[in-house]
Amino acid sequence: MSRRIPCSLTIAGTDPSGGAGIQADLKTFQELKSYGMSVITSVVAQNTTGVQDIHHLPIGMLEAQLDSIRSDMPVHAVKTGMIANREMMKRIGEWLKDESSPYVMDPVMVAQSGDPLIQPEARQFLRENLLPLTAIVTPNIPEAEDIIGEKITTLEDMKLAAESIVKSFGAGAALIKGGHMEGEAIDYLFDGTTMHVFSSDRVETKNTHGTGCTYSAAITAYLSQGVPLVDAVEKAKNYVTAAIRHSFSLGKGSGPTNHWATREEVFHYE
């Protein structure tokens, strides 16, 4: 019996060191057996220690890439990561309005190193124009605080934020990631009707560069295969947890996660 080839698209910035951005997304799509495609917004010179330089592609080149996909390739799920400015957001929003596949937004604002990845004035545009198009948005705590305009300090606050992002800001569903909280790594998903919780033991490691990208890419890959949203998040949580547990001590800073950690033969490295 022949089966549809699941196809995932990421629209995001790059990471030459391979842990975050487009590179992390494509590795994740490949690992989870979804055909991976990418539209690049910005070329970022970065590594495990931080961001060294950023070059935003001209708008025409962004549009040309989006057209290349639309005119030729099937898309069964799409995610966005770093979109640096309003102009890019506007074009991507127009493209997404004509897209019928589920849209996963990782509302990337700063790199883990603290370096800003989007212009401050673009945040409002993201909130007002792209958020309502999502099937799911996946903010970490600082990103969720930025969206709702309130501090999040407790697990109860995380749940309230998830509900508010859906009910007041129009997201299809909201997954608030607790990587920045103490203790267990707890995430809350509000899908419009029910609050779901996904939790794992915290792995004692500094090598978490790209966890957010990897998580949202995994959700996208599962959605492209027709897995229902809550199951897709559960499977993606298992994937990202394994990728953190077997992460790599590469580079001088926060090392990358291990995208092949769920393969049967997991090697251990120095």
Ligand X SMILES: Nc1ncnc2c1ncn2[C@@H]1O[C@H](COP(=O)(O)OP(=O)(O)OP(=O)(O)O)[C@@H](O)[C@H]1O
d(CA 105, CA 175): 10
Q: Does 212 bind ligand MP5 (CB under 6 A)?
A: yes
Taking CB under 6 A as the criterion, which residues in 109-148 touch ligand MP5? 111-112, 117
- Minimum CB–partner distance for residue 112 and ligand MP5 (Å): 3
Q: Which is nearer to ligand MP5, 110 or 230 (CB)?
A: 110
Q: Which of 41, 210, 220, 237 is catalytic?
A: 210
Q: Which is nearer to ligand X, 79 or 177 (CB)?
A: 177
Buried b (16+ CB within 10 A) or exposed e, 36-59: bbbbbbbbbebbbeebeebebbee
Dihedral over Cα of 128, 23, 19, 244: its sign: positive
7, 9, 11, 20: which one contacts ligand MP5 (CB under 6 A)?
20
Q: Which is nearer to ligand MP5, 101 or 254 (CB)?
A: 254
Q: Which of 93, 213, 235, 255 is catalytic?
A: 213
- 15's contact among ligand X, ligand MP5, none, with CB below 5 to 8 A by partner kind, is ligand MP5
Question: C-alpha dihedral over 54, 237, 245, 18, to 10 degrees?
Answer: -20
Q: Is 253 an active-site residue? A: no
Q: Which is nearer to ligand X, 95 or 215 (CB)?
A: 215
List residues with catalytic annotation.
177, 208, 210-213
